[in-house]
A and B are shown apart, each in its own frame.
Chain A
Amino acid sequence: MVSTEAPLEDLIFRGEPDWLRENRRSALESYQRLPAPSKTDEEWRRTDVSRLDPSAFSRFEKAPAHTTMATNLPKGVILESLPVAARDYAELVQPRLFSLAQAHRDRFTALQAALFTGGIFLYVPDGVEIDEPITGRHFSHESGTTVQPHTLIVAGKNSKFNYLDEYIAEHDDEAGYRSGSTEIFLGEGSQVGYVAVQKWGRNVWHFSDQRAELGKDATLRLFNVTLGGKFSKTRVEASLAGEGSNAELKAIYFASGEQFFDFHTLQEHRVGNTRSDLLFKGALQDVSRTVYAGLIRIEKHAARSDAYQANRNLVLSDKAKATSIPMLEIDNNDVRCTHGATVGPVDPEHLFYLRSRGITEATAKRMLIQGFFGDVLDRIPFEHARKLVEAELESRIG
């Protein structure tokens, strides 16, 4: 996809403002300059991308995202396709776009910054509350293509709303290159619920960054659902930059067949009196593999901060493998911090108890898998998304 520049200009850059074209070119340079991930890199030690050649997927799908509620949004709210917003609302978009997900830090983030197609920009002004959740639905239609939507959300002071990104493959067996990244800026006192549901095709390579920066007293409830891809790498990062801010980071994943999922999370407490609570729960079937690596970083001046991190894996097959690596970096003693990881099969005592009541093994297992996800599903920030995720999970648990 990165072979010659001229077709790219035609394909993607055309009609875009100069600053964005400039940023894209510079990100492309980063992509070309940054070395391919190697096994000696801690982040890539268990995550093999040596067989990925993005240029094999040089056809871009540029289908615009479908958004709901575009009509009856409160005054001042902007819900627009990202390329259009980059042109019409440059003063809001330019300073923020790819400032959390930085192109020079990572090859695949660079690729996203260089070649994102479509995506959504949401701006909610100060003091505005939106009751109904806003949804963005991103589609892929073909195998072998590249689809790279990007979401940029700006929450004004004391604004309050919920947003759902859904990544949907037209054909479940699609191959190709997919992303779906999000940057969220939470202004002072804002309350944002964000849910991302990744259902790309089973044979795609998927890379995603979900990053948020929280101002004073802001609250983020982020929920990630990872279901698609033969390879999926997701970074979730919350930067607690304002006192009193609070980030809830939750995720579920369900891996089957030969799927490989990688999650890297960062809870970055930059100032004091901040709180983060992370829970990632996954179930693995067949020969699937998952890697979770999470870092809690509490900076020197971030006293009186609370940080929690847990990763729980339900391994449903002898051949599936979950790896969990919690990490701490704490430069202040006046904090509360816990982390934990579990990897294990269905508890045989639980299974026996259910079966002793006449419930078949298959049904009992299904109930236990649903039960395993139960407490985290309860944390999905809004009803619409909860229903969707529950249905999605049910159909996969079978």
Chain B
Amino acid sequence: MADFEIKDLRASVEGRQILKGVSLDVSKGEVHAVMGPNGSGKSTLSHTLMGHPGYTVDGGSVLFKGQNVLELEPDERARLGMFLAFQYPVVVPGISMTNFLRTALNSKRGYDGKDKSKQVTPKEFRSMLKDELEVLHMDDSFLPRYINDGFSGGEKKRAEILQMAMLRPEIAILDETDSGLDIDSIKFVADAVNRMRGPELGILIITHYTRILEFIKPDFVHVLVDGKFVLSGGSEVADRLEKTGYSEWGKEETAQPQEVA
């Protein structure tokens, strides 16, 4: 039995069915890539897995640690060990990154304002931050800023990975963390993810393009088209997409990005 099992997941947005029966087994220690053209349902999958209220589950189940996570609140899913790096990280005015990170970390540890022993100490917090910032080539000037406020596209994506590194999930879903990043930023992100890679973490990398997979080698690659997996295999699937794009499924798009400046 896999650690994280998606079974026949069907979901819709505003009455329109997008996911039409998605099944996937992810075990800790594995890296799965989910590739697909625009609009194929990749973000619908990531949002549905995390419990976004705008997506309706029409059927299926997602088993993790003996629970059907589809029945849990988003924050319960996160505390159980799931993490989503957003394709489009949200700007939240009025809350500093530091406050956000600290509160998230405390919540993850079950600190509810009462049992101080569970609370992350300032010292521990600082040292965790320092390490991860270095790997991600970020300076700490953004910490007092509001969540994602005024961050460049690349900074937002790196901040997502920073959060992941702090929260130490067991199942991480990275929704197009690579898109919009220049090659250096992709490498920083890949370094940070590779550092976390190991027997305690299962990763689902959602991407449109093959490039990030050169830096984070996947164990499995799945191709999502029109809300269904049409092909699954090892890393050779990515090589095939690199050459032919999504044309075999009637989509014009390539799987290689235009160079970003």
Contacts and interface: CB of A to CB of B under 8 A. Distances in A.
Interface size class of B (residues with CB under 8 A): 20 to 34
Contacts of A348: 53-54
Contact of A371 (B83, B93, B167): B93
Contacts of B104: 354, 357-359
A interface SS class: helix
B84 A368 contact: no
B37 to A, nearest CB: 25
B95 A368 contact: yes
Interface stretch (A56-64, A224-232, A272-280, A372-380): A372-380
Contact of B107 (A350, A358, A371): A358
Contacts of A373: 94
Interface in B174-227: none
B103 A361 contact: no
B99 interface: yes
Contacts of A355: 51, 73-75, 78
A361 B73 contact: yes
Looking at A354, A363, A364, the one whose CB has the most chain B CB atoms below 10 A away is: A354
A102 interface: no
Nearest to B93: A371
Contact of A370 (B83, B94, B167): B94
B108 A358 contact: yes
Contacts of B77: 356
Interface in A251-283: none
A374 B94 CA distance: 5
Contact of B99 (A358, A367, A375): A367
Can you list the 9 inter-chain pairs with the closest CB atoms, starting with the nearest? A371-B94, A358-B78, A374-B94, A357-B104, A355-B75, A355-B74, A353-B90, A371-B95, A358-B107
Interface of A: 348-350, 352-361, 363-364, 367-368, 370-375
Interface of B: 50-54, 73-75, 77-79, 83-84, 86, 89-90, 92-95, 99-100, 103-104, 107-108, 112, 146-147, 163, 167
26 contacts: A352-B52, A352-B53, A353-B89, A353-B92, A354-B100, A355-B74, A355-B75, A356-B74, A356-B83, A356-B84, A357-B75, A357-B167, A358-B79, A358-B108, A358-B167, A359-B75, A359-B103, A360-B107, A361-B75, A363-B103, A363-B107, A367-B103, A368-B94, A370-B94, A374-B95, A375-B94
Given A359-B104, A371-B93, 5 more contacts: A352-B90, A358-B104, A359-B75, A367-B99, A375-B93
